[in-house]
Structure 1
Amino acid sequence: MNTKYPSFPWLYYVVRSWLPSYTAEVLPDYELSPTTSVASSSRPNSPLFPSRTSYHYRSERMELDLGPRKWGTRLPAYGKGGIIEGTVKVRTFKHVDRVVVSLLGKLSASHILNQVPTLSQSHTIVNKSIELWSSGHPSSSNAPQRDDFPFSFTLEANGTQPMPASTSIQLSRAQANVAYIVRVDMYRRGIHLHETLQTEILYVPRTTSHYCRPFIPESGNEKRPRITESEWHRADLRLERAKASPKLIPNFQSELGSSRSDKDKTPPQLWLPQESRYPSGHSIPFMLSLPATPAQLSSKIESSIEVQLVRVTTVQTRAGVVQQTSIVSRGHIEPGSEHGPTTTIRGTIDTGKAEREFSWSFESIVSVSYEIRAILGTTTAGLVWKLTRGIEVVTHEWHGEHAAQIPSLGSSAASRTGASIIHINF
């Protein structure tokens, strides 16, 4: 006999009789996952493997059905003004005091120190509850006549500020997460355990604009109509000191035969479409008008121009405000400048990947905004012409009220599996 206690064989049998048998497998009726608190004994219908045709979640005593998989996402997805319709089924009412279903939405912001989130804070976006059944209700009895309870929530803000979409922000020194869940709580009497069943849902509303691209006549066509100035917004570039070494325009003064300094010259102008709300996934036309310049200088001037679309992300943490800028795209200068009383240079700039780039904010905690920055080199070292104009980026063009209520399925949050809620204390 192989034993760990060769000197005391009787002790081996005593210790073995006291210890329960352990196994590496989990109990068949209990399994935890990021999307739900308690899973089912039937693995194909567990929250980790929901039905392919519907969003169906199960715990030991309850079932949550959020309807068919309409959009093909792993989690239930809803658009602007979406209605969450579902059914809770209670398998047993033994020792049950009441059953409550809730819609919860929170934003969590954290400071990043040595790549570790710290000083986290949570802000409630929405908190709605419906009591489905109560043992103390006059219509309740020891033997309820029904075991399934339908419910519905409307995804709309309580105040004037819109609800932010499900999203995640990761900066070098801060992070923020927005998540929504549907949770069912079964409150039980006495020493019996409270039971919870929950899943994350996706709130991915479309933001829209009535963007109308201004008319731009063909270059080189003498009979072309002129541009309509009312369709454009124009602003003067300002002369500023360069933070980095700008591209200079060599021999600009000598070739023009002018001795005026840059400060005395007529400032260049940046022309952008009058509508300042642009859909992502599109290109924005722009024009730069400069004082008359010789045609042979066009290539030198164009090489000194830089137009950028910049994303500015701000997160307020307990350690202070963290702001980070990222270049979304750079402008493309079209060949063939127009010369006359003024020199006109045309180009386009992309608004980033469709549905991935969009402006939003929540109170003073988080904001994502966009700017178009234009920089033009000068003949004076250390000086540049510069202009920054704030714009709003939306997910879609306006295509009617019905289309506006469809979820923004191209959002980065649409691929969530539910693991994001571990970052938020619900």
Structure 2
Amino acid sequence: MSQRTSARRPENGQDSLDLVLRDRPIDEKNGVNASLGFTFQQWWAALSIAELLGSGDDFAVGVEVKEDIAILDSAQSPTKVEFCQVKKHERDGVWVLKDLHKKGSKRKDGTHENSILAKLYARRQEFGASRANLRFVSNIGVKLPNEAGADSLTTNTDLSTLTTEQQKLVKAAVSTQLGIPEEDIDLAGVLVHKTNLPLGEPEIFVSGKLEQLSSTGQLPFQLSHTSVAARVLASEVQSRASSTTYARSFEDLKLRIISKSQALNILASVAQSRAPLSQILEEATAELDREGHPFIERKDIKAQRVRVCADASDRTNMIFIGVASALQLARIPIEAAIGAKATLGELMNEVVEEARVSSPAEFNGLPLAYIRAVALLVLSDAIDLTVFTAPAGPEPKEDE
């Protein structure tokens, strides 16, 4: 063994965890998922990151690191890992204990694939029970036998809490499939877990978790657009999962790992960015709906949404910048006078009325609903007036 490898062995003689986590030729590779959308496993990884951010402890989440998901206690010098196998089930139903430990499909050579639990337990053989926990995750529940022998639905159960008889069944199956002594199998830290993450619209669930973290002060910043943040986080997970380069070292493997600090940076970038104008305008009109603003006015404003967002995106549109600037100037005294007690609809109408009186030329020929829609963007601080520039005009003629 090389001197470098020997130096990384702890006193118990095991290789350090980061050394063992690197890719091996015998590792099973499923390849990059060809789906255009995010997979259930990737959404569950995003959810796990959000949940871990609420714990306060250091962590790192790896995708396609030995198993679907690997949760480490550090991205720099990990000492413990939890390997998670994530299975989605498209139809209603439940798992039973036998489903988890029965041998799999038959191979061409007459042997059988290992069971779900045997495949997971092989990781514990490789890494040691003291530093590798295991978790089977599914969107449907698992029925496990209780003390009376009757099956009961469980959401998060350590298999070491099963009856001695039921543990013996699991150990016997894993022993046979992996070829290890039954007495060497330790089920403590082997969990079966039902996730509440839904198959449909998982981004809403993850968004809700991020909203909880933000509203309870568990993030070092306010996260206003949690639905955007959820998708950005899942996108980063998907990007990491697509890194199939053979990792000869832990440094190489970090391409598939998101650390706690990286997760916070990802969310901070969303917190510091503005939401799309269409979303801001949609949220503003939704607020008008909640206020009971006149229906026809709301309908007309919504009809102008596409035109307003297109004009706001054109930085040379001087008609739009004239309207937005006039509304911004009118906004300042109006908010000072009635801002604290006015609804959004009242502010919008007051600002529009004041601006049209103060700068009538800016609004000639424009529909009132268009002006109101721009006012909603101005009141939402969605327009950066400094980025608009006048179009280039003809060069002035030199004096003769």
TM-score w.r.t. structure 1 length?
0.24
Please say which structure displays the higher CA radius of gyration.
1
TM-score w.r.t. structure 2 length?
0.25
RCO comparison, higher one (Cα < 8 Å, 6+): 1
Higher helix share: 2
